[in-house]
Amino acid sequence: MNTEQSIDMKDLKAIKLELTRFMMAYKFAIDEMNTKINILKDEFNYIHDYNPIEHVKSRLKSPESIFKKVNRKGYKLSLPEIKENVRDIAGIRITCSFISDIYEMSKMIAKQKDIRVVDYKDYIKNPKSNGYQSLHLILEIPIFMSDREVKTYVEVQIRTIAMDFWASLEHKIYYKYNKEVPTKMIDELRDAAILAAGLDRKMERLHKEIIEIKEADQAEQVSLESIIQKEKFNYPFFETILQKM
């Protein structure tokens, strides 16, 4: 092996090491965010006796997928350039029960001291033209490696079950038709998105009504217990008899 080949091998090893560390940072970022989300979910459940999250999914883009996007967008083929322009390498999708849960979860995530919200897109209040709805966050979180701290981007999508159902099927339909969906079907998909949004609003209203009924029942129970305690205080004779029975 000559000197030139030796240098080339060293360069390749160095490139491979940097690419590995580059991808590892995003993998660790997903792990970090999943831990944070689980903690927030459990805390919310303990305090409110209610779990706002139905399920959480995460994915890490493959190097092949990253490079395809880089070529498609015309970005420079360098790791710093990729980091700044391809911000969905690490992705997490949170599916919530109700619309109010989406905003509650986004607030709890944004309040984390080591998280910086880089971008916020509300496709719930402002749906896409095809009917798509979701809340998109681009977050920056620190990942502590053995010899460095790496600020890493993570895309978080938060949506309801109905939004997720529509988006998943819409994606499959587009994939099946190679993204050349007939106009009639596009209109029907948009109508289906409107129906899904209506279902979300209806379920949200029913959810709030149940909470109000529950709170009223609890208030009534507290009031009744207060009256009983007061009566027991006023009539110690009857209390004594009851204790002997």
Please identify every residue annotated as catalytic: 155
61/143 Cα distance (integer angstroms)? 18
Backbone angles phi, psi at 125, to 5 degrees: -75, -30
Cβ atoms within 10 A of the Cβ of 207, count? Answer: 16
At 163, is the secondary structure helix, strand, or coil?
helix
228/128 Cα distance (integer angstroms)? 57
Nearest to 59, CA basis, from 23, 107, 84, 85: 23
How far is the CA of 164 from the CAs of 8, 85, 199, in angstroms?
Answer: 48, 26, 13
Q: Which two tokens stand for residue 65?
A: 């997928």
